[in-house]
Structure formats: C-alpha cells, structure tokens
With several copies, the nearest count.
Chain A
Amino acid sequence: MTDETKAQLEEAIVNLIKEFTNKKRFKPGDIVKEMEMKFSVNGVTKDDVKAAIRDLTDSGRLIYGYAGGSFLSLPE
C-alpha cells in the first residue's frame, strides 16, 4: 500500500465515522469490511485497515468507545 493510499484510507475512515455520528456505531470489524470494499482496487487488505486504525487511535484522531461492544468514534 502506498503512503498516498494509506492517507486516503485513514481519511476515509475518519470521514465515515464523522458522517454517521449519532447514527451508527462503527465496530472496527465494520470499518475493515467497509474499507476493504471501498479500496478493493487499491488492493487494501484487512491488515492494512487494521494498521490504519492503529495509526488513527495511536495518534488520538479516533478513540475507542464501549456500549455492550467496542466501537470507534471521534474524540469527544
């Protein structure tokens, strides 16, 4: 995966979560499935998406939440 794709991927993840704020709680697994589909032409794999999520959470752009199950969200 190129750095460019990686940046796009991370952007797409954040945007998706932003778009559905208060509508849907994205479980990390949902994100993986969504992004694998969205970036299939770029050959993005499950591990790529996981790495992107890790980047986003390590940097604090996304945080984890819990409500009976874990989900990703924007920092409060």
Chain B
Amino acid sequence: MPDVSGTKRITDVGPHDYHDFLHPVIKNNYGKWKYHEILSPAHMVHVSETGDKIYSVRVGSPRLVSGSFIRDLCDLADKYSGGYLRFTTRNNVEFLLDKEENIEPLMNDIKKLNLPLGGIGNVVANIVHTQGWIHCHTAASDASGVTKALMDDLYEYYTDAKLPAKVRIAFACCLNMCGAVHCSDIAVLGIHRRPPKLLPDKIMNLCEIPSTIASCPTNAIRPDTYNGKPSVKIIEEACVFCGNCFTVCSGMPLSDPLNDGVSIWVGGKVSNARTKPSFSKLAVPYLENDPPRWPKVVEAVKTILDAYKNGAEKGERVGEWIERIGWPKFFNITGFKFTKYHIDDFRLGEATMNYSAQVRQ
C-alpha cells in the first residue's frame, strides 16, 4: 500500500467526464440525431440533422471478461473506430465508426476473434445475468454457466433477426434478482426449496435478531432463545425459501444441492411501448440444477421461444403475445403444467385472479 501519510488523499472525484470519451461525430451531432436504420442484426446507422452519420457495430460479450478480452477490443477500436467504443446496457460492445468502409473489415476481424456479431433488432438480446457461483454467497445456481449454455443454443437468434420482436432474457442466481428477472420476456431464476438451517452459535454471535426477524416476507422467523441468549426459530410451513434471512444473518444458510434449482418466468416487459411495463410471470416452478449445461432449462426456454416465434404477430413482445392468446393456451402449447404454485398467494395475489366470465372454452 502506498504511503499516504502527510499527503491529502484524493476522494470523491466521481465518475469521469464522459465528454472525453465521445467520438467527434457524436460530439458534433449530440442531440441532433434525426433517425436510425438497422442495416443488419450487427450494425446500424444513425443519421443527424446535419447529414452526418455514425455507424454502430454490435458485438456480443460474456460480460465476465479478462483483461485480454478488453485489450482485444481496444486493438480493434484503434484499428477501425479511432479508438472509440461503448458498451450497451445489456453488456454488448458497440464500435462507433464514421467510415462505412471500415465496417466490413472490422466485422471480419471480429469473426476471427470468434466473437458474435448481432444483437440489434428482433433478436434474442444478450442475457442480463449475475454473479452466481463465480462470486456470490447466496447463489442457488450459476449465472455464467446457464447464460453460456443458453446463448450457445440460441446463438442464431442473436446473430439473425428471426423473431417477431426482441426477446430479452435474464438470469438471476437468487431471489434478490440482481438485474432484470422480474421484468423480462423470459427469465431464469435460481431458487431454494428448503428452509434455512439454523446455526445457533453463528446466529448468536453474528446476527441482529430484530433485523433477522424483519427480513422474512412471510413472517416465518420468530424470536427464540438459545442457551439463554436471544435467537430465532423458523415456522417451516411458512417459509418460502427466499434467502433474505441469510443475507442479513450468515447463521441461516439455505443452500441444498439436492433441492436447489431454477424456475422459469415469462412475459415481463420494461418499455412503455404499446402496453405498460409488466412483471415476468411464473411458467415453470422448478427445474433441477444440472451443470454444466442445464439441458432442461435450455429446453424450456427453447420451448417458449419456439411457441412465441410460431404464434406471435409482428412486433408483439412475449407477454403481449401471451395476453392475446390467453394463459390457458400458453400452458397448453408449451405443455408446461399449471399448478397451485402458479396462483399468486402473496400480498397482492388477489389482484391477479380472473374476475370475469371471459373464458375461452
């Protein structure tokens, strides 16, 4: 550690000023863009009121990358885009070019690096995912692995625009849902199915009892004593295996290789286009963890995607398609079984029942 005694440590500089990283064409046309055109699933052009154009070439990334990966990108940027590039909000890379003639050579070099070109328009977008077994202590499944297995299988859906609309898939390794799971077209969520195991000594030494009790969504954690000291007990019938107690109290681990796994969700949406934003809804309550490639999970996602591709109208998002054909038909087409788990029995669940005689027969 450098010796900082005597000198004032510099802090609170905040994020770097973005102006320093903007392509000159972008600087000159900032706020003046007139329209864009998607030229292929891997590149588009934005045209300014001034007539200037900027080309964006989009490349897929696994998000968890090495320094060498970044250096590869930098080399390409230096070669073709004046050193300018950006990342998207879904972890794709975008090279920003002002020269049309650089597009093809850039794409060729990208192919040589075995990186995917695509992600624009009606594709399966890059999967927004989380840490999983790579870095997080509460993961019920692995993020990078499931994402890789899915994207390998859906590769053509990323590179070619074959779908009625863009499909946004998300993965989160636990119910904290660090990302987009609660509002995605298709989502995979790591889940536990057994209550926390109580480690009374840890609880006594490391946990705040009131906040542990408050952490439970179903009020399943109750005060108790252990060796005369405050502790907790669990009403197992009420536990929904959410893991929030473990977040605040390391003495309540939930991991259970036999019962952990994932659930699959569909029909969420963030944009305000046409229909209001909406949550993802439960499609498949449980599939076991089956590393390294989680074949059943991949199959379930493919089932949804195929049904959607065959059934949806142009421009219809997954959730909009399901709302149009109705949930009974969705379960019927996909073959997923509808169970009591699908009926929302949580706080606002009442609002989700069918209060009408509108029923397809």
| Chain A contacts to B: CB under 8 angstroms | 22, 24-25, 58, 67-69
Contact = CB atoms under 8 A, between A and B. Distances in A.
A68 B250 CA distance: 10
B28 interface: no
Most A CB contacts (10 A, CB to CB) among B211, B215, B244, B250 go to B211
Interface residues of B, number: 11
Contacts of B211: 25, 68-69
Contact of B215 (A22, A25, A58, A68): A68
A57 B320 CA distance: 51
Interface in B217-252: 244, 247-250
B7 interface: no
Contacts of A22: 205
State the majority secondary structure of interface residues on B.
helix
B205 A69 contact: no
B205 A68 contact: no
B75 interface: no
Nearest to B212: A68
A58 B9 CA distance: 9
B208 interface: yes
Given A67-B249, A68-B215, A68-B244, 16 more contacts: A22-B205, A24-B208, A25-B208, A25-B211, A58-B9, A67-B206, A67-B208, A67-B247, A67-B248, A67-B250, A68-B211, A68-B247, A68-B248, A68-B249, A69-B211, A69-B248
19 contacts: A22-B205, A24-B208, A25-B208, A25-B211, A58-B9, A67-B206, A67-B208, A67-B247, A67-B248, A67-B249, A67-B250, A68-B211, A68-B215, A68-B244, A68-B247, A68-B248, A68-B249, A69-B211, A69-B248
Contacts, number: 19
Contacts of B248: 67-69
Contacts of A67: 206, 208, 247-250
Contacts of B9: 58
Contacts of B208: 24-25, 67
Contacts of A25: 208, 211
- B206, B208, B248, B249 — most chain A CB neighbours (10 Å): B208
Contacts of A58: 9
Nearest to A71: B208
A69 B206 CA distance: 14
Contacts of A69: 211, 248
B60 to A, nearest CB: 33
A58 B4 CA distance: 12
Nearest to B8: A58
A26 B205 CA distance: 16
B197 to A, nearest CB: 18
B252 to A, nearest CB: 11
A32 B205 CA distance: 25
Nearest to B250: A67
Contacts of B205: 22
What are the 4 A-B residue pairs with the smallest beta carbon separation, nearest first?
A: A68-B248, A68-B247, A25-B208, A67-B248
Nearest to B215: A68
Contacts of B206: 67
Contacts of B247: 67-68
A13 B28 CA distance: 53
A12 B248 CA distance: 27
A19 to B, nearest CB: 15
Interface in B178-208: 205-206, 208
A53 to B, nearest CB: 14
Contacts of B250: 67
A24 B247 CA distance: 17
Contacts of B244: 68
A67 B202 CA distance: 13
Nearest to A22: B205
A64 to B, nearest CB: 14
